[in-house]
Amino acid sequence: MTPTAGSAQASPSQTLSRGIRALEILADAQHPLTIAELADAMGVHRSVAYRILRTLEDHSLLVRDDGGRVQPGPGLAVLARGVSRNLQAAALPELTQLANALTMSAFVAVWDHEECVTLVTVDPRHTGAAVVQHPGSRHPISAGAPGIAIQSAFSEQDWAAKAPGIPYRAEAAEARRRGYAASHDEVISGVSSLAVPIRVPGGRPAALAVVYIRAAQDPAEVAAALAASARNIESQLA
């Protein structure tokens, strides 16, 4: 009997899944990888990795250097440009202002299943040390100020309905009361973060955050600056 539409879940494409996995591995790698290293990381034969590589290379999603090593290609930047395009456009001026005024790395994180993913980031223009938060970096939504801030956009009951199985942190209730979330030493050892939620019309809430090693500013004052920027972003998204 031929299954009817909806009677059985379509099988995922193994080739597509492997191609996406290859891109994830390359994005996380600290240096270009050889084809053998990529194949080992994917858990496939080198010939399989090579076929996937050639397809991704045809679309400029990865490139090979003169030594044949593989790294992410410019096609990924084109794709990333369209991710939450309106949010990126609205956030960038505010991130730039915050980063330079506070001398902290400022970024927007978005909720992706059980994780927070950095969408766009701006580092301050100064010669001192800054904490770099790379676009595409991710961590569990249950860890760190951005995740707490995203949770704080919901009541505990609403969160349980939206994200069953992901605990609602007590800190989210506190952040909901005072208007901002704070964390220290949760995602990166020795690093602190402050964050506020951004309410996105028709979409999941995001978070506007800063990260720093040490700061002379009062956290409440930094949070007030974040909240003002979040309101500016929300007004442009409305």
pLDDT of residue 6: 47
| CATH number of the domain within which 100 lies | 3.30.450.40
Q: DSSP string covering 177-218, please?
A: HHS-EEEESSSSTT-EEEEEEE--TTS--EEEEEEES--SS-
User: Which stretch of 23-27, 150-154, 207-211, 231-235 has the lowest confidence by average pLDDT?
Assistant: 23-27
CA atoms within 13 A on the CB side of 70: 26
**What ranges in the chain are assigned the alpha helix state H?**
14-28, 35-42, 46-58, 74-81, 85-102, 145-152, 156-162, 170-178, 219-237
Q: Indicate if 18 and 62 belong to the same structural domain.
A: yes
What pLDDT, in 10s, does the model give residues 44-95? Answer: 999 998 899 899 888 888 888 888 898 888 777 666 665 567 898 899 999 9
Q: Indicate if 86 and 61 belong to the same structural domain.
A: no
pLDDT of residue 192: 92
Model confidence at 14: pLDDT above 50: yes
Q: Residue 6 domain-assigned?
A: no
Residue 109's domain spans which residues?
A: 82-237
Model confidence at 129: pLDDT above 80: no
Q: Residue 92 domain-assigned?
A: yes
Model confidence at 1: pLDDT above 50: no
Asked whether the whole model's pTM tops 0.85, one would answer no
Q: Indicate if 209 and 112 belong to the same structural domain.
A: yes
Total number of domains in the chain: 2
Q: Indicate if 130 and 215 belong to the same structural domain.
A: yes
- Looking at residues 152-163, what average pLDDT do you find? 94
- Of 47, 79, 111, the residue at which a domain comes to its end is 79
- Looking at residues 21-40, what average pLDDT do you find? 87
pLDDT-derived band at 132 (thresholds 50, 70, 90) equals: low
Q: DSSP string covering 91-106, please?
A: HHHHHHHHHHHHTSEE
pLDDT of residue 214: 77
